[in-house]
């Protein structure tokens, strides 16, 4: 963090994650609120860095934690029985070629395991949950 100097969100190294990953999913949730039928399901994606930070990953940790908190909080505000959950996976086996050096000591999981967490979120009846995939 010592290499990061204060800047506006638009110019900050943190801004990319806030504007794209976080607000992209918040805006998706807001749009889905009006488009889904009663009882519909929204599933967001966060990541393991919300709880297990890595060097040069503070922006991703912040955004992932915000997505998890948003899913929990939005679940009590959504109308018409709409549900919102988040899936929060660790690094994928299929991504280790590119991301492995950043995730030393992490046990990667297959994408198929995360897909099952998405199915659980969509097909289940729970809301405000964060499904950890580790």
Let me know if residue 1 belongs to a domain: no
Helix 23-35 vs helix 58-74: crossing angle, to nearest 10? 20
Give me the percent of the chain exceeding a pLDDT of 90.
90
Tokens, residue 111: 């994408």
Per the structure, the complete domain to which residue 75 belongs is given by 9-133
Asked if pLDDT for residue 1 goes beyond 60, the answer is no
Let me know if residue 72 belongs to a domain: yes
Let me know if residue 2 belongs to a domain: no
> DSSP states of 44-84 as a string?
EE--GGGTS--TT-HHHHHHHHHHHHHHHHHTTT-STT-EE
pLDDT single digits (tens) 73-103: 999 999 999 999 999 999 999 999 999 999 9
Give the H/E segment covering residue 48: none
In CATH, what number is assigned to the domain containing residue 90?
A: 3.40.50.720
pTM for the complete prediction?
0.93
* Predicted local confidence at residue 3, as pLDDT: 66
Let me know if residue 52 belongs to a domain: yes
* Predicted local confidence at residue 87, as pLDDT: 98
Let me know if residue 124 belongs to a domain: yes
Secondary structure of residue 70 in the 3-state scheme: helix
Let me know if residue 128 belongs to a domain: yes
Torsions phi, psi of 131, nearest 5? -90, 110
Residue 71 and residue 28 in contact, taking contact as beta carbons nearer than 8 Å: no
- Structural domain count of the chain: 1
Let me know if residue 91 belongs to a domain: yes
Let me know if residue 3 belongs to a domain: no
């Amino acid at each position: 963090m010592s290499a990061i100097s204060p800047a506006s969100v638009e110019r900050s190294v943190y801004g990319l994650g806030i504007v794209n990953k976080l607000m992209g999913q918040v805006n998706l949730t807001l749009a889905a609120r009006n488009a889904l039928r009663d009882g519909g399901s929204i599933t967001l994606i966060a990541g393991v860095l919300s709880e297990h930070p890595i060097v040069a990953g503070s922006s991703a940790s912040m955004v992932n934690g915000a997505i998890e908190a948003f899913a929990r909080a939005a679940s009590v505000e959504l109308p018409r029985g709409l549900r919102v959950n988040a899936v929060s996976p660790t690094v994928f086996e299929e991504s280790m070629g590119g991301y492995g050096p950043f995730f030393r000591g992490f046990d990667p999981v297959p994408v198929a395991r995360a897909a099952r967490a998405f199915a659980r979120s969509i097909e289940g009846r729970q809301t405000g949950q964060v499904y950890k995939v580790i």
